């Protein structure tokens, strides 16, 4: 009754009492070891086959990983990403049926600094994971999150999209086979395997940055943005073209609902789809998106996949402390009553796409500064965004120089940025006594409202929750200034430009 | 030191706006609320001068405030609309007859003509009788489907050009969440539209002037304006699936008040991949109402009720539509599946 496509053809059955000697429903020979869905009992062998098949089918159906390509595996130490590591490792082994043909490397981002972990705990967790990585035989690097403070602003430059159709995949396969299928061993900088302890001052800067976001929701959002930037930068600097993330179906269903609640409807396909092409030259893929958290947990236990638990920002947080945490408890509770919830949400996410307003080689100015997705803040008539701007305007005293209150000011979405600009010039008395931004008194208010014009709807909300934007890493602030200068330039010469290309 | 209103900076603030968090005095709040509804109507071009508009009134807070604001704005800004009240009697004793009294009071207060259509006269079934047959789990489906058609039929009887309903921002956000949870991609695409398409006979276009107003603000407005309304939960609604989405939304609002608008914004900016199968609009072969199948949903539900097979219509049964149209009897097995289960 909770699903549109639900069919009621089967008569109601009496639930079979669970018996220990049940047979596997697939091979009908072995004794059942796991029950995946109600009524589907699998034996160990069939379960392993089913699990591996799903991974291969996911990669094979979306032909984006070319043979011989360098792929970076982002492992956080959690069950999903360690399971993904094991799948890749098994797929590469010599006796695998149809061996995987790409060259992987591993990256582990140590976020202990942002969460406030003690140095010994960080060292211990990193050492455990390093042991796991060494056992796989694949090259790996450990990157502390503090390195995000030193990133170059080229991270935020959208490199040109690598357009590739199905023809490109076949051509790549052909090339690989012809070159003798030489499996090139990638090498990552060996010094970065176990970096020396991070300086305390940098950890403190990072903590101050995260702490400048006042709500846990904004902190989570900021942390995941910084983590993604660091991942992309690591991939670029080490020469990798694809990054594999270990998000599973349950986590992606939660992410979908969270994204909707944060206002990221336009970017849903990129946030939760199989491949995420917002960075242009680096493609993020999610091969584990078909597995529910339950299946991964069973597999890890039955086949001894090691994983290391590292506490995050939301560990032991209460249900209502953040939107992410609230959505997680909502989905898991609903799943208990309606077992098809997660898979239905997953199917919904498969049917979405990114609304592309401008051309595919999007102008830099059309992309959000933080999340690098296309901007969705064109305040069209009769839209929710316009309605929020109108509400803001109607609830505050009008700035000096505005026309009568009955007719709205011609460009409302300029109101925040315009007020900011007028204040920095210092010439006019703003008259905005009770304005939420307090833009009269400090230049930093002007800065944050100026940043907003460069951000998409949900990143604006995150910045709004921050007490000061000065703590943002240097690369973000300098890129913001560069974009503003460029758009000012464009305004000056707008009438002389023949086409909109950047 | 009393807090001053952030708009006029003159009078004492008596309330905090749930939508933006600003503190406002009574008059500024009224003005802001009415102004926002006016701008929604203007920017979406909901009405044309000279139209006859039916206000769907249930006696609850949304429709009472809607009637009040529509009358006020009609006079203040000269929309030149002829307003009427339209109400639906589902036949839920103890709930609907009380709220209908409120509607009759509204009619006298605002001096607007009123028409009441009832399920009894349109379909021959009241909700009480339906619940006796169907149980407490799927009854909201029946009520919702029947009410939509009842509104349209009433509108045609009154000869109105448009209907406006009191759906607020919370309702739209709940609907977006519910459609994601149910996987209903077709409805997900349409549900954030502020007005329905206006093609076809037997269909009156519908719009939601209060689409961007928070439910809490509607209550605040009614409270300070001393508007009288009937406020009880429908007695048959506790088990509806929508309840889950509603609790979730309330929790979201308590964490971050802008969540409601964020969800509406997300819903408006969703885009569906090409190649996803969408239903095509046609007409029902039996009653002529708009439908995407050969039989419209209310005909199917009615058929099920009349034959004592209440599960016909819950779930996908369009294979049986042809059988129903040609009035063939259903087989023994099909009958057994469609009979009601213990509740």
pLDDT tens for A313-341 read 888 889 899 999 999 999 999 999 888 89
Half-sphere exposure (Cβ direction) of B151: Cα atoms closer than 13 Å: 23
In the predicted model, what is the mean pLDDT of residues A159-186? 61
Which pLDDT score is estimated for A417?
A: 37
Judge whether B243 is annotated as a binding position. Answer: no
ipTM at complex level: 0.88
Q: Which of A269, A384, A412, A415 to substitute to test the interface with B, most B CBs within 10 Å? A: A384
Which pLDDT score is estimated for A443?
A: 46
Residue B43 distance to chain A (closest CA, Å):
5
**How far is residue B234's CA from residue B91's CA, in Å, rounded to a whole number?**
12
Which pLDDT score is estimated for A401?
A: 37
Which pLDDT score is estimated for A164?
A: 54
Q: Is A224 within a domain?
A: yes
How far from A74 is each of A231, A247, B128, CA to CA, in Å? 8, 10, 58
Chain centroid, CA A451 distance in Å = 21
Which pLDDT score is estimated for B326?
A: 62
- Tracing tokens 């590739």 back to the chain, one arrives at A164
**Residue A53 CB neighbour total at 10 angstroms:** 11
> Residue A269: its chain B contacts at CB < 8 A?
273
> Residue B36: its chain A contacts at CB < 8 A?
387, 390-391, 394
Annotate A64-94 with DSSP letters as a single string: TS-TT-EEEEE--SSHHHHHHHHHHHHHHST
Whether residue A336 lies within 8 A of chain B, CB to CB, comes out as no
Q: Is A44 within a domain?
A: no
Counting the structural domains of chain A, the total is 1
pLDDT over 70 (residue A14): no
The three-class DSSP label of residue A126 is helix
Tokens of B264: 């509406």
Contacts with A, B 323-342, CB within 8 Å: 336-337, 341
Residue A293 distance to chain B (closest CA, Å):
18
Range of the domain at A275: 64-159+187-351
Closest Cα in chain B to A335: B181
**How far is residue A297's CA from residue B164's CA, in Å, rounded to a whole number?**
51
How far from A285 is each of A73, A222, A294, A350, CA to CA, in Å? 10, 21, 21, 14
With residue A334 as reference, give the H or E element that holds it.
Answer: helix A323-337
**How far is residue A229's CA from residue A223's CA, in Å, rounded to a whole number?**
10
In the predicted model, what is the mean pLDDT of residues A204-224? 91
pLDDT confidence bin for A491, thresholds 50/70/90: confident
Beta bridge partners, A262, equal none
Whether residue B310 lies within 8 A of chain A, CB to CB, comes out as no
Would you say A310 and A109 are in contact if contact means Cβ atoms under 8 Å apart?
no
pLDDT over 90 (residue A495): no
Tokens of A11: 């008569």
Whether residue B3 lies within 8 A of chain A, CB to CB, comes out as no
Q: Is A115 within a domain?
A: yes
Tokens of A111: 């976020």
pLDDT tens for A254-296 read 999 999 999 998 888 888 989 888 888 899 999 999 999 999 9
Q: Is A290 within a domain?
A: yes
One pLDDT digit (tens) per residue for chain B, 343 residues: 788 888 888 888 888 888 888 899 999 999 999 999 999 999 999 899 999 999 998 888 898 999 999 999 999 999 999 999 999 888 887 777 778 888 888 888 888 889 888 888 888 888 888 888 887 777 888 888 888 888 888 888 888 889 999 999 999 999 999 999 998 888 888 888 888 876 656 678 999 999 999 999 999 999 999 988 877 777 777 777 888 999 999 999 999 999 999 999 999 988 888 877 888 888 888 877 778 888 888 888 888 888 877 777 776 665 666 666 666 666 666 666 666 554 4
Beta bridge partners, A352, equal B272
pLDDT over 90 (residue A74): yes
Which pLDDT score is estimated for A324?
A: 94
Q: What is the pTM of this model?
A: 0.85
The three-class DSSP label of residue A369 is coil
Beta bridge partners, A353, equal B271
**How far is residue A468's CA from residue B163's CA, in Å, rounded to a whole number?**
48
Annotate A154-206 with DSSP letters as a single string: GGGS-PPP----HHHHHHHHHHHHHTT---PPP---GGGSSPPPPPHHHHHHH
- Higher-confidence position of A4 and A126: A126
Tokens of B68: 């009040």
> Cα B144–B148–B152 angle (5° rounding)?
165
Q: Is A277 within a domain?
A: yes
CATH of the domain at A74: 3.40.50.620
Which pLDDT score is estimated for A439?
A: 38
Range name among A113-122, A170-179, A474-483 with the lowest pLDDT average:
A170-179
Whether residue A345 lies within 8 A of chain B, CB to CB, comes out as yes
Whether residue B136 lies within 8 A of chain A, CB to CB, comes out as no
Pairwise CB contact (< 8 Å): A457 & B262: yes
Judge whether B341 is annotated as a binding position. Answer: no
Q: Pick from A217, A261, A266: which is nearest to B263 by CB?
A: A261
> Residue B261: its chain A contacts at CB < 8 A?
263, 384, 387-388
pLDDT confidence bin for A424, thresholds 50/70/90: very low
Q: How high is the mean pLDDT of chain A?
A: 79
Which pLDDT score is estimated for B342?
A: 47
> Residue B4: its chain A contacts at CB < 8 A?
434
Tokens of B102: 């409120």
**How far is residue A282's CA from residue B324's CA, in Å, rounded to a whole number?**
56
With residue A225 as reference, give the H or E element that holds it.
Answer: helix A216-238
Tokens of B18: 């749930």
Which pLDDT score is estimated for A386?
A: 86
In the predicted model, what is the mean pLDDT of residues A464-491? 88
Q: Is A477 within a domain?
A: no
Closest Cα in chain A to B246: A330
Which pLDDT score is estimated for B343?
A: 44
Q: Which of B16, B217, B269 to substitute to test the interface with A, most A CBs within 10 Å? A: B269
Whether residue B251 lies within 8 A of chain A, CB to CB, comes out as yes
> Residue B341: its chain A contacts at CB < 8 A?
12
**How far is residue A22's CA from residue A24's CA, in Å, rounded to a whole number?**
7
Dihedral of alpha carbons A101, A105, A106, A109, sign: negative
Whether residue B183 lies within 8 A of chain A, CB to CB, comes out as yes
Residue B325 distance to chain A (closest CA, Å):
21
**Residue A337 CB neighbour total at 10 angstroms:** 9
Judge whether B59 is annotated as a binding position. Answer: no
**How far is residue A207's CA from residue A213's CA, in Å, rounded to a whole number?**
10
Judge whether B173 is annotated as a binding position. Answer: no
Q: Is A365 within a domain?
A: no
Tokens of B333: 């097995």
Q: Is A120 within a domain?
A: yes
**How far is residue A48's CA from residue A304's CA, in Å, rounded to a whole number?**
12
- Tell me the residue length of chain A: 502
How far the first Cα of chain B sits from its last, in Å, is 59
Pairwise CB contact (< 8 Å): A260 & B176: yes
Whether residue A458 lies within 8 A of chain B, CB to CB, comes out as yes
Judge whether B37 is annotated as a binding position. Answer: no
DSSP A213: B
Q: Which of A264, A265, A379, A392 to substitute to test the interface with B, most B CBs within 10 Å? A: A265
Which pLDDT score is estimated for B121?
A: 86
- Tell me the residue length of chain B: 343
């Amino acid at each position: 009754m909770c699903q549109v496509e639900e069919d009621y053809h089967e008569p109601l059955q009496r639930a079979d009492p669970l018996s220990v000697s049940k047979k596997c429903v697939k091979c009908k020979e072995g004794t059942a070891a796991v029950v995946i869905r109600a009524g589907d009992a699998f034996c160990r062998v069939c379960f392993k086959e089913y699990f591996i098949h799903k991974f291969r089918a996911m990669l094979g159906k979306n032909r984006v990983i070319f043979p011989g390509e360098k792929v970076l595996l982002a492992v956080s130490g959690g069950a999903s990403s360690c399971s993904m590591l094991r799948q890749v490792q098994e797929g590469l082994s010599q006796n695998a049926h149809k061996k995987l043909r790409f060259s992987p490397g591993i990256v582990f981002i140590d976020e202990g600094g942002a969460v406030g972990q003690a140095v010994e705990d960080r060292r211990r967790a990193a050492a455990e994971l390093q042991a796991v990585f060494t056992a796989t035989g694949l090259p790996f690097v450990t990157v502390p999150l503090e390195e995000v403070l030193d990133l170059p602003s080229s991270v935020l430059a959208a490199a040109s999209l690598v357009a590739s159709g199905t023809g490109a995949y076949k051509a790549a396969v052909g090339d690989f086979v012809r070159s003798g299928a030489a499996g090139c061993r990638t090498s990552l900088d060996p010094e970065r395997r176990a970096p020396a302890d991070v300086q305390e001052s940098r950890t403190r800067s990072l903590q101050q940055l995260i702490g400048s976001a006042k709500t846990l929701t904004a902190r989570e959002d900021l942390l995941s943005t910084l983590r993604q930037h660091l991942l992309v930068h690591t991939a670029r600097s080490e020469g990798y073209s694809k990054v594999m993330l270990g998000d599973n179906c349950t986590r992606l269903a939660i992410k979908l609902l969270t994204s909707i609640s944060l206002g990221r409807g336009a970017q849903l396909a990129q946030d939760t789809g199989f491949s995420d092409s917002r960075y242009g030259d680096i493609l993020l893929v999610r091969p584990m998106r078909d597995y529910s958290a339950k299946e991964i947990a069973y597999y890890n236990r039955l086949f001894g996949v090691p994983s290391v638990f590292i506490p995050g920002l939301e560990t032991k947080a209460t249900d209502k402390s953040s939107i992410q945490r609230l959505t997680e408890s909502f989905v898991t509770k609903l799943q208990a009553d309606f077992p098809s919830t997660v898979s239905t949400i997953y199917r919904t996410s498969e049917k979405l796409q990114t609304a592309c307003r401008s051309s595919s080689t999007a102008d830099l100015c059309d992309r959000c500064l933080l999340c690098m997705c296309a901007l969705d803040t064109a305040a069209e008539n009769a839209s929710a965004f316009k309605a929020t701007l109108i509400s803001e305007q109607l609830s505050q005293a009008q700035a000096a120089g505005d026309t009568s209150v009955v007719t709205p000011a011609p460009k409302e979405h300029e109101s925040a940025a315009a007020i900011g600009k007028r204040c920095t010039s210092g010439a006019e008395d703003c008259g905005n006594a009770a304005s939420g931004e307090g833009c009269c008194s400090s230049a930093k208010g002007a800065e944050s409202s100026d940043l907003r014009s460069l951000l998409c709807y949900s990143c604006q909300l995150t910045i709004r929750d921050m007490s000061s934007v000065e703590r943002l890493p240097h690369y973000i602030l300098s890129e913001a200034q560069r974009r503003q200068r460029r758009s000012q330039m464009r305004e000056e010469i707008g009438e002389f430009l023949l086409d909109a290309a950047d | 030191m009393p807090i001053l209103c952030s708009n006029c900076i003159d009078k004492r603030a008596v309330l905090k706006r749930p939508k933006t968090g600003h503190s406002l005095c009574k008059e500024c709040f009224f003005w802001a609320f009415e102004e926002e509804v006016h701008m929604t109507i203007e920017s979406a071009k909901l009405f044309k001068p000279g139209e006859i508009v039916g206000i769907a009134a249930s006696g609850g807070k949304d429709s009472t405030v809607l009637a009040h604001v529509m009358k006020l704005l009609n006079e203040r800004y000269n929309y030149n609309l002829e307003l009427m009240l339209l109400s639906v009697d589902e036949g839920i004793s103890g709930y609907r007859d009380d709220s209908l009294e409120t509607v009759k009071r509204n009619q006298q207060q605002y001096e607007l003509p009123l028409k009441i259509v009832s399920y009894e006269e349109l379909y021959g079934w009241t909700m009480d009788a339906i619940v006796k047959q169907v149980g407490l789990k799927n009854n909201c489906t029946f009520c919702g489907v029947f009410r939509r058609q009842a509104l349209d039929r009433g509108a045609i009887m009154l000869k109105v050009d448009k209907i406006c309903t009191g759906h607020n921002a919370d309702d739209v956000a709940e609907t977006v969440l519910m459609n994601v949870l149910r996987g209903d991609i077709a409805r997900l695409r349409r549900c954030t539209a502020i007005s329905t398409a206006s093609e076809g006979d037997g269909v009156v276009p519908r719009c939601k002037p209060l689409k961007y107003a928070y439910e809490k603000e509607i209550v605040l407005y009614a409270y300070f304006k001393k508007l009288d309304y009937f406020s009880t939960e429908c007695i048959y609604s506790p088990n509806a699936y929508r309840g889950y989405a509603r609790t979730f939304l309330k929790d979201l609002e308590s964490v971050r008040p802008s969540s409601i608008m964020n969800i509406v914004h997300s819903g408006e900016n969703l885009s569906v991949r090409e190649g996803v199968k969408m239903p095509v609009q046609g007409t029902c072969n039996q009653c002529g109402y708009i439908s995407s199948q050969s039989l419209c949903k209310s005909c199917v539900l009615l058929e099920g009720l009349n034959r004592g097979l209440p599960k016909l219509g819950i779930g996908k049964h369009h294979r049986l539509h042809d059988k129903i149209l040609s009035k063939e009897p259903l087989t023994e097995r099909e009958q057994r599946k469609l009979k009601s289960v213990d509740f």
